[in-house]
Amino acid sequence: MDFKKLLRGWYSVNKRDLPWRDITNPYHIWVSEVILQQTRVAQGIGYYYRFLNEFPTITSLALAKEDKVLKVWQGLGYYTRARNLQKAAVWLMTNSNGELPKTYDSLLEIPGIGPYSAGAIASFAFGLAVPAIDGNVYRIVARIFGVFASTASATGKKEFNDIVYEVMDKDNPAQFNQALLDFGALQCTPRKPNCVTCPFNSVCYAYRNNTIESLPVKVMKGAVRSRFFVYLIVKYKDSILMSKRTAKDIWHSLYEFPLIEVDDQKSLESFQNSTLWRKIFGKSGVYINKVSPVITHKLSHQTLNIMFVTLTASRLSQWAFRTYSFVSTNNVGDFSVPVVIDNYLAAEPLGEYL
């Protein structure tokens, strides 16, 4: 089987037209690859244009405030990606002449660039003959070549890498790697792959052995943790209280409202007995305007059950003044917030009770 020739033939007919396709600007390719980490192409396209419009060069990204980068990233998830991009841009200015380095190994040292992205940038931008192995490639190789090794193990990774390097088109690694991505996304899909029209169906191990559904071998995922949040939308004069998340937890560096986390669903109702409530309001009274129903917000590894409590306070503790930012209701939109907060604010505008 001439793998690269069959793939090239498929690609000549089925190639996707994407904004980051057939470009060589290393910065643009870098941004696209980071955006697309664990992110669907359809979701990433808008962010790609918006990000490069806001930060057209590595220099502009290096000079940007992290909060501004996170605001542009809002809604895309995995926010460490945005912080790493900005951090890396700053690093490149002083250590690499403001440019991405041009070898696979040096790309790997940049925060936010791992084995896949280093291979993608090295091949797409610099034409280096290195594999760029993502979920698509694992799936394609596992099925066609009958590889049952786990993609999570070190030996499995090496096995896949060796096969891809062996079959890849060293004369056009950029086209070869991009063709694999399109082939995985369009033809050899996770479920219901289009084997009938596949150019590899006569040689594909999984097709011939009826193991399409069991390849690649997937690892069992652990139980999803449930958490219970009460967000206090505290109105004080013309402001509301917000703070930046700094703990080693979800949504690091994003902004939020005063948060009471409780142990279970029924404890959501007793937010007025919490320590945080007393620390903010002391013994002074507050007027509760609205208590939202419990909103379920699913992350890949946690299920959040969130209740929003909108209230008006005439007095706050000194601790509250020290701890929170007082944000004019007109400026709340300038802060990067989790999607679940953005959605709630869109549905329940802040001006209503002011």
Chain residues binding DNA by CB under 7 A are 16, 18, 20-21, 32-33, 36-43, 75-80, 84, 110-118, 120, 134-136, 139, 152-155, 178, 181-182, 184-185, 190-192, 218-219, 221-222, 225, 248-252, 297-302, 338-340
For residue 216, is the peptide bond before it cis, meaning its omega torsion is within 30 degrees of 0? yes
Contact 237, 321 (CB under 8 A): no
Query: Helix (H, G, I), strand (E, B), or coil: what is residue 327?
Result: strand
Q: How far is the CB of 10 from DNA (least distance, A)?
A: 14
Q: Is 261 a catalytic residue?
A: no
Q: What are phi and psi of 55, to 5 degrees?
A: -130, 80
Q: How far is the CB of 53 from DNA (least distance, A)?
A: 19
Task: Give the nearer residue to DNA in terms of CB position, either 223 or 322.
Answer: 223
> In 3D, which of 18, 13, 14 has the Cα closest to residue 120?
18
Q: How far is the CB of 256 from DNA (least distance, A)?
A: 11
Task: Give the nearer residue to DNA in terms of CB position, either 243 or 312.
Answer: 243
Distance in angstroms (rounded) separating the CA atoms of residues 332 and 239: 9
Task: Give the nearer residue to DNA in terms of CB position, either 98 or 135.
Answer: 135
Q: How far is the CB of 125 from DNA (least distance, A)?
A: 12
How does DSSP assign 295-322, residue by residue?
EEEE-SSEEEEEEEEEEEES---HHHHH
Task: Give the nearer residue to DNA in terms of CB position, either 215 or 233.
Answer: 215
Residue ranges in the chain assigned as alpha helix (H): 3-14, 26-35, 41-54, 58-63, 66-73, 80-95, 104-108, 115-126, 135-145, 154-167, 173-186, 205-209, 275-281, 318-323, 339-347
Q: How far is the CB of 290 from DNA (least distance, A)?
A: 23
> In 3D, which of 209, 176, 188, 208 has the Cα closest to residue 135?
188
Of 33, 109, 213, 261, which is the active-site residue? 33
Task: Give the nearer residue to DNA in terms of CB position, either 115 or 272.
Answer: 115
Query: Between helices 135-145 and 154-167, what is the axis angle to 10°?
Result: 80
User: Which sequence positions are flagged as catalytic?
Assistant: 33
